[in-house]
Amino acid sequence: MHWLDVQRIAESLVDIHPDIDPVAVAFPKLKALVAALPGFAEQPGHPCNERILEAIQQAWIDERD
């Protein structure tokens, strides 16, 4: 799993952090939460950026609802 696996990341965040409100998570914390997920590995050529974090946060919100 890497930064472009937005849906899988969102599903994992819902499972691992059901007590966290994704709306209240700042991007630096979101980046750290994702990097700590089991099976996550940053891929060369696919770094994280604000657009990816926004997509992950929205998918996490959608998945939680």
Q: What is the CATH number for 16?
A: 1.10.10.600
Residues 28-47 have pLDDT tens digits of 999 999 999 999 999 988 88
Asked if 9 and 56 touch (Cβ cutoff 8 Å), the reply is yes
Question: Is residue 25 scored above 90 in pLDDT?
Answer: yes
Tell me whether residue 17 is in a domain.
yes
Sign of CA dihedral 48, 52, 57, 61: negative
Tell me whether residue 60 is in a domain.
yes
Asked if 9 and 34 touch (Cβ cutoff 8 Å), the reply is yes
Q: What is the pLDDT of residue 47?
A: 87
Tell me whether residue 1 is in a domain.
no
Mean pLDDT over each residue of the chain, to the nearest integer: 96
Tell me whether residue 42 is in a domain.
yes
Domain with 17 in it:
6-64
pTM of the model: 0.93
Q: What is the pLDDT of residue 53?
A: 98
Tell me whether residue 19 is in a domain.
yes
CA distance 34 to 55: 13
**Residues, the chain:** 65
Tell me whether residue 44 is in a domain.
yes
Query: In the block, which residue shows the tokens 């099976």?
Result: 39
Q: What is the pLDDT of residue 65?
A: 87
Domain count, the chain: 1
Tell me whether residue 38 is in a domain.
yes
